[in-house]
Each structure stands twice: as C-alpha cells, then as structure tokens.
Structure 1
C-alpha cells in the first residue's frame, strides 16, 4: 500500500500552490506564455520574438485539509504536526497543525502547468503578418466537487452512524504532455482597428490517468464489537455499490520508480479571436476584447477499466484482514482483492483495456483598456465548459487587474474570485527575463486560521527587453531621398 501512496504523492507533489497567471497573461510582453490562455496573445507582443526557458503555474485548493494559524512561507520551517483529537491536539487549539474539516461535503481541485522550452516569432508571408510559435507543456489536473465527507465523524470524534448513505460522486485525474503549434494573424486591418484570429494545435501524450465514477449512493453500515469494558472496535460494510474505476500509470511498481512512457494519445485545439482599437501607427493598443475556447480535445489511454457491481454482496471495508493485513504492492493487486471480495473472482471486475479523459474545456473572455500610456485595466472571465467523456473540470475564475507595462518591466495588483465564492488579492512583477507573482498573495506572508491554498508562479524568459518602439522604428527601411 505504501507504493500506491507514493504514486499519488509523486504525481501530485513537488509543486507549489498556485493559480493561472492571469495577471501576467494580460501583459503584452507575455508572448508565448500568454498563448495558453489566448492563442492570439503573442500577436500583440511588440517584440519580433521571445523565448520561454521554463515557467510553472500551479493550483491546489481544497476545503477538507488545512494547516492552522500558518503562512505558506512558514511551512518551509517544517514542524507541522498531524492532529490527534484524543490527545487534544487539533487545529482549533494549536498552531501549525494539519487538521481536517467536519463539513458535510468537501471539494478539491489540482491544476499544474509547466511550460518548457518554447518560442514565438513574427513573420511576414505574402505581405500578411503572422505570429508563429512552438510550445511544450507538462500538465496535471484533477478535481472532485461536493463529495460526501464520511470522515467528518472521525474528525469530530463521534461514533460512526450505524446506517449511512454515501452520495454518488465522480472524480478524475490526468497527467499529460502537450506539444503545440501556435499561429495567429489579422483578418482585417484599418488605421484604428484590427481583427485577430489565432489557434493552438496540440498533440497530447497521456502519462497517467484515473477515473472513479460511483453511480449510485453506497450504503455503509457500522457495527461495533466490544474489545473490553472501555473500548469498541468498528466494522464497516458497504453495499448497493455501482462503481467504474479506470487507471493508467507510468509508475513501475516492480522497480519502485517513475518511468516516462506514452500511455495514451490525443489531440487538442484552442481557438481565439480578438478585436483591437489602436492609435494610428502605434504598436500598442487602446482597447482589446478577446474570446477564446480552450482545451477542446481528449486523450485515449491504454489502461485497465474495472466495474464493481454486485447488489447481493456486502463488502467488509474496515477490519477486514484481506485488506488490513496485506501490504499492497500495486494498484492492480489492490483492485484484484476488491474484485475477489465483490465477485469471489479476482479477475472478474476487469472489463476493458482502455478509457478516455477529456481536456478541461473552458471559455475565456478578456478585456483590456488603456487608462494612461503603458497602463491597462484588465478583466478576465474563465468558465469551465466540459464537453467530452470524463472531462476534467477547470476552476472558474473572475479577475480584474491593473498593470503597468513597458519593454523591460511590468507589474500590477489583481483581485480574483474563485468558483464565484472566494476573493483573493494578487500581484505580479516582470523584471527583464524574470517573471514572478501570485494571484493569492496574502497567505504567503499573513497567517491564516485555516491555510488551505496560496499562489506562486514564475517564468524565466529570454526576449529583447532592451528594445523599444523608438529603436525598432529607427531600424526600419526608409523610402526617403
């Protein structure tokens, strides 16, 4: 079982908390980095080229686990302890305690996007201006919304109910690579307006994937057996289950290591259109309105698909020696034991060798308005719109920001509303080749009673930040004589 836990930890760890770098995406100098949120963004880069060396943008939010009275940077000092309610050690009584919620329903969302070596350049083809780019990305995403918190009884130190109906739920996870081509150009241009269209065409390489779909409420029954006059032992039985479980992973359980392999293939596309008001002969704009449909596509995985449905069979899930006394070495071994409990046959649950996970399709609308020269007010709205089988679900975001931009430096504050529930404060700074920021900056430095999310993103870029509009115009050919 330790190896299974290690797989989950490997895939979901090694990253900071974070969120889509929306503030930086509205920076005209974001270039190829901005293409992940709008394929037309590189077109507005005043520079003829830019290169991304490495960037990371990660989100992890949940309302189940939290660390009490702590900051994000405070976690670097360690010394975080697990809650021990029986000893009076809880998040309510002490600082720096990993504790858990007693809410009826809980949710979590993980989004990670690492962009590797990528570039974008301006190119004239038959007197038509194009922006062309290539990018490489490693992405992870998983989520569950309003899953039944059966553990609330344990967390609240009360006895498990004798009968409990665990609501149906669905969760999925995917870890994948993207290799993409970005292209954008103008449909028409006047002295004051441009209409720009863009697309990202992506080849997808599936690395790890999992889908768990519980289609009906599971009946849980708790029985208590007296151990002595003080202590009781609980046994939990499950019935009325109808669960589909599919998985594929690159973790090699025999060698205890992660091995990079292609476990599935797919295609994806991002589409965008932008309407721009400009001043005559000016590279910068007065107003931009953009609409984008992102992550249309899916990955077909080569992996195992299992079904657990046997209405007449109760399964003992706690204090069952077939589970408790076995050190599971792989996911396959664990699923075989469950199949044996459900059907009396360890191989009967397996029904297929493939499954599909859809990309986290979303609609992104953005607006940017010049307030003063090189100063912009920006608004972003991202709404998830899943369309494929087992689609991942992106976080909904509504954000406004104010940014000051020139060729060498950019910065500005932001306000974000996640899933239309929680407002966070952020900021970003672009200083030459280095970009860093946060869309949820307060938990980095200010202690929170329940620390369960924060945000840091960064990028290391290479572009002619020593250049400017005046220098570019001085290098243009002159027809004067």
Structure 2
C-alpha cells in the first residue's frame, strides 16, 4: 500500500473521512431501552451494577446485544437531500456539493469540533439473583473513538482543500487537541448485594470487574500548534508540542495486515461501581423457598449513583510512541512526497522536525484510558399508573488524562411503559448539554430494538452519524415457579401460593 501525499491527505481528511459515513448525529451511547427498566438487570448493569437485585427477573441469559453509535459536529448531509434509508441503499446516488464535488457539507461556524464513535457488542452473558445477592458474567467487544477540541479550520481544509484562499496565510494557534481510538475484548464478573433493608428502605451496592484485551489502540494529542498554510504545497509550522502513539495489527515495515503475533497488543482491567437507594411501596418479610419463588419488590422511587468504565489498557506489543517537543519546520513540497510504509511516514516527520528519522521515538509502550463517567439515575413509579415509569439519567464524563477516551455528556428524561412481554420507552435527551434529541425503544418479549434519535429514521434530521441498538435476551421472571416446576411455590409474604390464598378467602 502506497501512502502517496500522506501528510497532505492526513491534514485534509483526518477530521472528516469517517464521520459522515456513519449517518446521523445520535446518542445511543447508553442504550436506554436496554439499560433502564425492571426487565433489564443484566444489561442494566452496564450503567449501574447495583441494579441486578432490583429487577423483575431472577435469571437472565443474553444471547446478543449490540450498539452502533456515532456523532460529529463537523460534517453532514441535509435531510432534504438524503435520508438514512437512502444512504443504506447501494444504488443511491449521493448528492454533490461545492467546487470540490464533495458528498457532504460542513458546519459553517468557528466552534470547536468533536466526534464520538462507539460500537459495543455484548456477547453470551448471564445473570442470576439469589435473595440479597446477584451475580453476572458477561462477554463483549468494544470499539471506541473520541476526538475533542478539533479546531474549526481543520474541517474547512478537509472540505475546501489546502489551497482555499480564506484560510491560507492565516496564523492559526490551537491548543489541547486530542484523538483516541481503541478496540478491545472483555470478560466481566458482576456482583450486587442488598446491604441494607429496614421496613420500606433498601440500599443495594454493586461492582463489575472486567479483564480487557486490547486489539488495537491509537492516540494523538497536540498541546499547542501555531502554523500557517500559504498554499497546498507548503506547511509553515511555527511551533508544535504534541505526541502520538499506536499499536495496531500492521507490520510497520511492510504494511502487511493483519499481524497476529500476538493477536492482542495490550491488556488491562476495568471497573464499574454503583449504589442504589430504593423506597419500597410495601413492607414485606422476603420469604421464599426456591429462586423462582422470589418476588419483585415494587417501589415508589429509586435513586442510583455509579462510576462506570474506570480503568485503562496498556499496549506493549507492536507499539510505538513519538513525541514532538517545541519543534518547528518550514516544509516545502510536502504534497509531492510518497511513502511506502508506516515507518516511512513517522520517519519522514521526525526527519523534518529533528533532522533525524528516529529522534521522535520515545518508547514501545503506552496506555489509553476507558471512557470513564459519573452517572446519576432516578426512577419514579406513580401509584395510579401501574405499568408506567418515569426515569431520569445524567451522564458526566470524567477524564484522568488526555490519553483517555471521552464519553459524551448528556441528561435524559425517559418515560416508559413496561409489562412482562411488552415495553416502550421514549428518551428525551440533551446531548452535551446542547443538542436536544428524542428517541424510541420497544421490547417484544425477548427482543429489544431502539434508537436515541428517531427523527433520523423519519427523515426529520440531517445525516451526520448513526444510531441504533438491539438486544436478544431470555428473561425468567420472579414468581414463575409454577411455569417451571410442577409443585407449588411458597408465597413471598405468607408461605402460601396465590391460589391457596384465594381459596382461603372464599372459605371465609
């Protein structure tokens, strides 16, 4: 593979190339249709592991769940020109814009830009509750990308080209830019415990520990960059302080792909911790004989607090770290240089800044943090609305350093209707505390499908990301003994079955 004009293409398309391909600006990041509700203990543990003892199921088996999500504030296709359904049709002719015949538009403002991409697959997993205790084992794959504080001029260069007059011969000063991406597999163990229960008050705590295997990881950060682009063949970099690191399944000397020695280039550990306070609707004595005889404890409201995705992955196989410390260069005819390998690219950049193709090299290991976040959840069950609930979720990203993935901030109100075999929810969200969104999710017995921006699929929103999730899961409800075994189960409250209680009432 030849990286012809690699530097020019990198500067032009780094902040554009993959964002438009995703579809619309979406926020299915938290999958509210499968993480909230009383039939979602296993998937609900994604947002707070303490939820596992507060659901209507005592046993859950997940076959497959997936979330595909992207969001960007750089490029889009107007809804009037193309819908998501048209974009998915291979015979669709995409619209063309501008003198460069681009198939998308860019947002014409000087705001800092950002982008998020998250693909999450939850594989075969299971949860089991036994009284005050609940346990779960999960398997999964995740691919996450975040780009933050992207300067407004970079999408302009990508869209108009490096010879665009209004941004040529302008001294740009940019700060605190970072881009991170990593793909990993994970296996997790979760535990929840009813730590306190007196009368109608209940406190549950939960924790998830996950072993992580990193398949690939890349980050780049620019602390500050001062530069001028006179034309499409000259880069005048006045000052640059930055760093990049990568560990991917590619032979950097030959570009052979994949390189699976070893398959996983890094490893790490991740944690989720959470606590939930529940105000029960009734006082009960928690008596049962078999796990299937456990009863769901209805509540007036519950409040949860959690910290999710604490941890990081360290890459030490096929890894390189390069640093550019207070460097400058006047690079002429950069667009005419051709490269054959990854090592050629990083070697040439090092040579331009330091006069030595190996001077930028700093080491062969690095870490990338998980998309850590603080989350607050509130759920209210009105007395007169038997199957209707109102939820509130707040997500705030927490970054310990700029080598960490950034989860988007959001606050969501989630009204829902739920029964054993049917559930609907309507998340109303404020994404990054700025962009309003309306979603929809539906569960039909074992199948859930949803999106956090339904307008995209109705042709009401511009095309600038993608957003959809689903879950296929077997739920075994509490109080279901009669459906499983041919013997009567003890009633949760008095030690008799509901049929026996009805018979006793008739005798009276």
| TM-score where L is the length of structure 1 | 0.85
Matched, 1:100 2:90: no
| Deviation per residue, 1:108-163 (Å, 9 max, x gap) | 11222211111101125xxxx21100011212222222311334267465444213
Cα distance in 2, alignment partners of residues 160 and 113 from structure 1: 38
Q: Name which of structure 1's ranges 151-160 and 265-274 shifts more when overlaid on structure 2.
A: 151-160
Q: How far is 1:205 from its partner?
A: 1.4
Task: Determine the structure 2 residue equivalent to 1:291.
Answer: 305
Matched, 1:138 2:150: no
2:189/2:208 contact within 8 Å kept: yes
Pick aligned residue for 1:338 from 343, 349, 353: 349
Cα distance in 1, alignment partners of residues 440 and 459 from structure 2: 15
Pick aligned residue for 1:380 from 371, 383, 393: 393
1:239/1:315 contact within 8 Å kept: no
CA distance 1:400–1:470, change in 2 (3 Å): farther
Task: Determine the structure 2 residue equivalent to 1:50.
Answer: 60
Cα distance in 2, alignment partners of residues 417 and 442 from structure 1: 15
Q: How far is 1:464 from its partner?
A: 3.0
Cα distance in 1, alignment partners of residues 139 and 259 from structure 2: 20
Cα distance in 2, alignment partners of residues 312 and 98 from structure 1: 34
Q: How far is 1:234 from its partner?
A: 4.7
Q: Secondary structure at the match of 2:457?
A: helix
Q: How far is 1:290 from its partner?
A: 0.5
CA distance 1:114–1:258, change in 2 (3 Å): farther
CA distance 1:2–1:27, change in 2 (3 Å): farther
Pick aligned residue for 2:467 from 446, 455, 458: 455
Matched, 1:265 2:275: no
Task: Determine the structure 2 residue equivalent to 1:348.
Answer: 359
Q: Which has the higher strand share?
A: 1
Q: How far is 1:314 from its partner?
A: 2.6
Task: Determine the structure 1 residue equivalent to 2:421.
Answer: 408
Q: Secondary structure at the match of 1:340?
A: helix
Task: Determine the structure 2 residue equivalent to 1:29.
Answer: 39
Cα distance in 1, alignment partners of residues 22 and 171 from structure 2: 36
Q: Secondary structure at the match of 1:280?
A: coil
Q: How far is 1:84 from its partner?
A: 5.0
| Deviation per residue, 1:206-244 (Å, 9 max, x gap) | 221112111222222415xxxxxxxxx653332311221
Q: How far is 1:341 from its partner?
A: 1.8
Pick aligned residue for 2:314 from 300, 306, 317: 300
Q: Secondary structure at the match of 2:88?
A: helix
Cα distance in 2, alignment partners of residues 218 and 140 from structure 1: 32
Q: Secondary structure at the match of 1:314?
A: strand
CA distance 1:221–1:99, change in 2 (3 Å): closer
Cα distance in 2, alignment partners of residues 251 and 440 from structure 1: 36
CA distance 1:471–1:193, change in 2 (3 Å): farther
**Higher RCO structure, 1 or 2 (CA under 8 Å, sep 6+):** 2
2:20/2:463 contact within 8 Å kept: no
Q: Name which of structure 1's ranges 104-113 and 398-407 shifts more when overlaid on structure 2.
A: 104-113
Q: Name which of structure 1's ranges 369-378 and 22-31 shifts more when overlaid on structure 2.
A: 22-31
Q: Secondary structure at the match of 2:365?
A: strand
Matched, 1:362 2:376: no
| TM-score where L is the length of structure 2 | 0.81
Matched, 1:200 2:208: yes
